[in-house]
Amino acid sequence: MTKNDIRQCAVAGTFYPADPVTLRKTIQALLTTAQTSLGNLSNNANTRPKAIIAPHAGYIYSGPIAATAYARVQQHDHSISRVVLLGPSHHIPLVGFATNSAHFFTTPLGNIRLDRTTINRINQRPDVAELDQAHALEHSLEVHLPFLQVILHNFQLVPIVVGDATTDAVSQLLTELWGGPETLIIISSDLSHYHHDEIARSLDNATSKAIESFDITTVDAQHACGYIPIRGLLKTAKNLNMHVNTIDCRNSGDTAGPRDQVVGYGAYEFS
């Protein structure tokens, strides 16, 4: 294995702890708290989530909300051996989708093997490019990886950075990657950005209602930074007659920040 085979961490020590012991304890504590809160939900605990939407900010801000989604996945971790992870590009302009040439993504908890067979196959699509630059600094994918390493025993990863793409294009790609019960689909997205708490709650509640009703047009850049992959998931899930449940919806003012400029976070499951 060479250095070029591994995509290195970009935000360990900033978005989440760089020390592996501290990182694992942090995630386990978040999951324990989340499992307690899940007891108050009306969703069927026996229904395995096929797809989730979860946030990607620093753990002190969005970790508690992301943990509610991952706690639901953890209840069915034995059946998952592949994770398809889509997140928006924050650092470079991008048209279509970007894959990575690496064989492993790494975090302080170790290496995650990429599903090169699947990645090489989707690289043949005209709207997919192998572009390591799009992944090098991208946190929207990376922050999910330690959660997955804690809750899943053995899995391969298909990481995709999403740029400017149509809803149909995202839906077509997701359909190609959908697989069976072995595959978990994750869409990485925060919700509203830098509004006062009251305004943010109104916007984020509207986003949750839109997601629950598969209302693609309402979910836009004002409501979610990952609106492009969210729209694609909503189209795919609607076509498959899936059910969606809002697991959690809070903002940074609820977790670790001031109330005057908050970022919204939501956790949603599709089954």
Backbone angles phi and psi of 61, in degrees to 5: -95, -55
* Blockwise average pLDDT, block size 10, the chain, 271 residues: 83 98 98 84 68 98 98 87 98 96 98 98 98 98 98 95 98 98 97 96 98 96 97 98 97 94 97 96
Which CATH number does the domain 47-263 belong to among 3.40.50.300, 3.40.830.10, 3.40.50.2300, 1.10.10.10? 3.40.830.10
Beta-strand runs (E) in the chain: 6-7, 51-54, 82-88, 97-99, 104-107, 110-113, 128-130, 156-162, 183-188, 193-195, 244-251, 262-270
pLDDT of residue 65: 98
Answer whether 267's CB lies under 8 Å from 147's CB: no
Angle at 67 between CA 73 and CA 58, to 5 degrees: 135
pLDDT of residue 36: 87
pLDDT of residue 9: 97
pLDDT of residue 42: 46
Q: Between β-strands 193-195 and 244-251, what pairing exists: parallel, antiparallel or unpaired?
A: unpaired
The SS3 call for residue 111 is: strand
How many angstroms separate the CA atoms of 228 and 8, rounded?
Answer: 26
pLDDT of residue 38: 79
Structure tokens at 43: 């969703």
> How far from chain centre, in Å, is Cα 259?
25
Give the residue carrying structure tokens 């995202």: 170
Q: Specify the amino acid at residue 171.
A: S
> How far from chain centre, in Å, is Cα 233?
12
Domain positions in the chain are 47-263
Structure tokens at 209: 């209602």
Q: Between β-strands 156-162 and 82-88, what pairing exists: parallel, antiparallel or unpaired?
A: parallel
Q: What is the DSSP string of 41-69?
A: --S-TTSPPSEEEE--S-HHHHHHHHHHH
